[in-house]
Amino acid sequence: MQIAQQIAFLLLAAISIFLFSKQVVKIKRNIFLGRALAINDNPKQRWMNVLLLALGQKKMFKNVPVAIMHLIIYAGFIIINAEMLEIVLDGLLGTHRLFLPFLGKGFYGFLINFFELLAVGVLLVCVVFLVRRNILKLKRFVSKDLDGWPRSDANYILVTEIVLMSLFLGMNAIDQVLQVKGDEHYHATGNFFFSGLLIPIFENMSITTLVFLERTFWWLHIAGIFAFLNYLPFSKHLHIVLAFPNAYYSPLSPQGKMHNMPAIQQEVLYAMDPSAAANAVLSNDAPKKFGAKDVMDLTWKNLMDSYSCTECGRCTAECPANITGKLLSPRTIVMKTRDRLEEVGKNIDVNKQFVDDGKTLLRDYISEEELRACTTCNACVEACPVSISPVDIIVELRRYLIMEESAAPQEWTGTFSNIETNFAPWKFSPDERDKWAEEMATS
């Protein structure tokens, strides 16, 4: 019987890890469908970003109560799953509480009590978050951005975490009852405070029933963990993993700094100084396309951003265009980029290479109206807890519209012409630019 359980556990673990790894490989492939981008400067500052933004969740602390709750649920779930090492070894070796003899009853009991404290914290915070989403219905959680799967996804995860924490506490409570009843498989560990509160529920049951329940809770707990592992690649909670590399590769330049295209910038300089153009060495690095029309035209960092999105809506809540009723939602920009990237990935899975499907990120997923509403103020970038930049995606799509299709509103076209001829957005000759000062001096 014990050998059968060990074999069953080994098969469950192997299948789960294989399926998860398969999805990770696909996600990595999809991300690197984007344009190459070298990000290797200032590693010290980048590791500091990982520590502060990803691990320390620095940006979340702009709203302290919510930040503390999020830290509890994040740290609690991660630390509790450190116990997975013991669970996995117990499953493989057919043991029970393998680390108890090595750590000693006192320290082992302290660790389990600490894990239980975190489990209770995670459970309570999940309940609060469910209430915020489904009863209080905070504005950014009931937005049409989340209609359909995204809204359900968040609730599924919260309910799953409540179930997993309840199984963990119930398993420990039954374990303590079996210790008291003298079952030889259940070693004395001392009292666990929080699960100890559940002991009255189980203490009048027979040893056979208790062992069955404890093993059932144990199997459901480990199966739930493996199920969560394989659900992760399809969920917004992939940010639990990708927040770390995304923080490392986040831009270090000041927010709002535009990244010009060197080839175009050089052309402008030549227009201003034709003599320089005569002596210029022609470059073979001229871009084949200006801006981005589809996900493959974006950088791999833009595509990593799309997979790292937490769908929290803080970006959209801070967006002045969205606040004034315009169609733009930075959260939707990032989510639609990920949706298109997933579609492209499935296309490659079926055809072994991308076959034109008649769709593009521009217009089929993100409209011109959305792009034109953006003021590039970077409020969304500042608000994002995992350092995503919707502005970078918007600018690249808008650059394609202007430079490849000459698709711009009339007001913009006039501004472009003025800049080209007058070196300023206004329709004044450069020679007359200081007339306003002369008029002030004579008034």
DSSP letter string, 156-193 = HHHHHHHHHHHHHHHHHHHHHHHHHHT-TTS------H
Q: Is residue 213, in this structure, part of any structural domain at all?
A: yes
pLDDT for 31 equals 97
Same domain, 223 and 122: yes
The larger pLDDT score, comparing residue 86 to residue 347, is at 347
Choose the weakest-confidence range: 102-106, 118-122, 200-204.
102-106
Give the per-residue pLDDT at 281.
56
Question: Is residue 137 domain-shared with residue 230, that is, in the same domain?
Answer: yes
> Residue 299: beta bridge partners?
35
Judged against a pLDDT cut of 70, whether residue 39 lies above it is answered with: yes
**Opening angle at CA 408, ends 262 and 322, nearest 5:** 95
Q: Are residues 238 and 100 in the same domain?
A: yes
Rounded Cα gap, residues 113 and 121, in angstroms: 12
Burial tier of 303 (Cβ tally within 10 Å: 0-12, 13-18, 19+): buried
Q: What angle do CA 117, 122, 123 make, to 5 degrees?
A: 100
pLDDT at 296: 96
Give the residue numbers spanning the domain of 399: 262-427
**Is residue 87 a contact partner of residue 112, using CB atoms and an 8 Å limit?**
no
Do 228 and 337 have their domain in common?
no
Predicted confidence (pLDDT) per residue in 223-275, tens digit? 998 999 999 999 988 988 899 999 999 988 887 777 777 767 776 676 666 66
- Here the tokens at position 404 are 């490849």
Same domain, 68 and 188: yes
* Two structure tokens written together for 402: 């202007």
pLDDT tens readout for residues 196-212: 999 999 988 999 999 89
Contact, 168 vs 119, CB < 8 A?
Answer: yes
Regarding whether 241 and 283 lie in a shared domain, the answer is no
Torsion of CA 227, 140, 245, 58, to 10 degrees: -120
How confident is the model at residue 2, as a pLDDT?
75
Domain shared by 80 and 220, yes or no: yes
SS (H, E, C) 125-140: HHHHHHHHHHCCCCHH
| Cβ–Cβ under 8 Å, residues 386 and 308 | yes
Structure tokens at 218: 């144990």
pLDDT of amino acid 149 = 86
Residue 27 forms beta bridges with which residues? none
In the block, residue with structure tokens 């294989």: 18
Span 134-180, pLDDT tens digits: 998 888 888 888 888 888 898 999 999 999 999 999 999 998 898 88
Do 113 and 173 reside in the same domain of the chain? yes
Where a domain ends, among 186, 220, 248? 248
* Number of domains, the chain: 2
End-to-end CA distance of the chain: 101
Cβ atoms 238, 232 nearer than 8 A: yes
443 is a domain residue: no
| pLDDT (0 to 100) of residue 94 | 82
Neighbours of 223 (CB within 10 A): 14
Chain-centroid distance of CA 227 in Å reads: 19
- The proportion of the chain whose per-residue pLDDT surpasses 70, expressed as a percent, equals 94
**Is pLDDT at 333 greater than 70 in this prediction?**
yes
Same domain, 223 and 342: no
Instruction: Report the C-alpha gap between 341 and 246 in whole angstroms.
Output: 17
Query: Using an 8 Å Cβ cutoff, are 392 and 252 in contact?
Result: no
Residue pLDDT, tens place only, 59-90: 888 888 888 888 888 887 777 777 778 888 88
Residue 400 domain-assigned? yes
Q: Does residue 234 sit in the same domain as residue 333?
A: no
The answer as to whether 432 is a domain residue is: no
Among 242, 251, 253, 378, smallest CA distance to 304 is for 242
Tell me which of 248, 280, 314 is where a domain ends.
248
Tokens at 73, concatenated: 């649920």
Same domain, 242 and 267: no
pLDDT of 369 > 90? The answer is yes
Q: Is residue 256 part of a domain?
A: no
Give me the pLDDT at residue 151, please: 87
Whether the Cβ atoms of residue 257 and residue 396 lie closer than 8 Å to each other: no
- Domain match, 285 and 360 both: yes
pLDDT band for 392, please (50, 70, 90 cuts). very high
Residue 121: both structure tokens together: 């914290």
Nearest to 145 by CA among 295, 313, 309: 313
* Residue 34: pLDDT over 90: yes
Instruction: Say if 434 falls within a structural domain.
Output: no
* Nearest Cα residue to 168 out of 101, 123, 235, 229: 123
Q: What is the pLDDT of residue 6?
A: 85
HSE at residue 431, side-chain half, CA atoms within 13 A, is: 0
Tens of pLDDT, residue by residue over 9-23, are 899 999 999 999 999
Cβ neighbours of residue 396 closer than 8 Å, sequence gap 6 or more? 291, 292, 297, 298, 302
53 in a domain, yes or no? no
Residue 347's CB is within 10 A of a number of other CB atoms, namely: 16
The tens digit of pLDDT for each residue in 277-320 reads: 555 555 555 667 889 999 999 999 999 999 999 999 999 999 99
Greatest pairwise CA separation for the chain in angstroms: 102
Given 248, 283, 309, which residue is the final one in a domain? Answer: 248
Residue 245, classified by CB atoms within 10 Å of its CB into exposed (0-12), middle (13-18) or buried (19+), is middle
Q: Count Cα neighbours of 271 within 13 Å in the Cβ-side half-sphere.
A: 11
Interior angle at CA 246, CA 245 and CA 248, nearest 5: 60
Q: Is 253 part of any domain?
A: no
Measured distance CA(142)–CA(240) in Å, rounded: 23
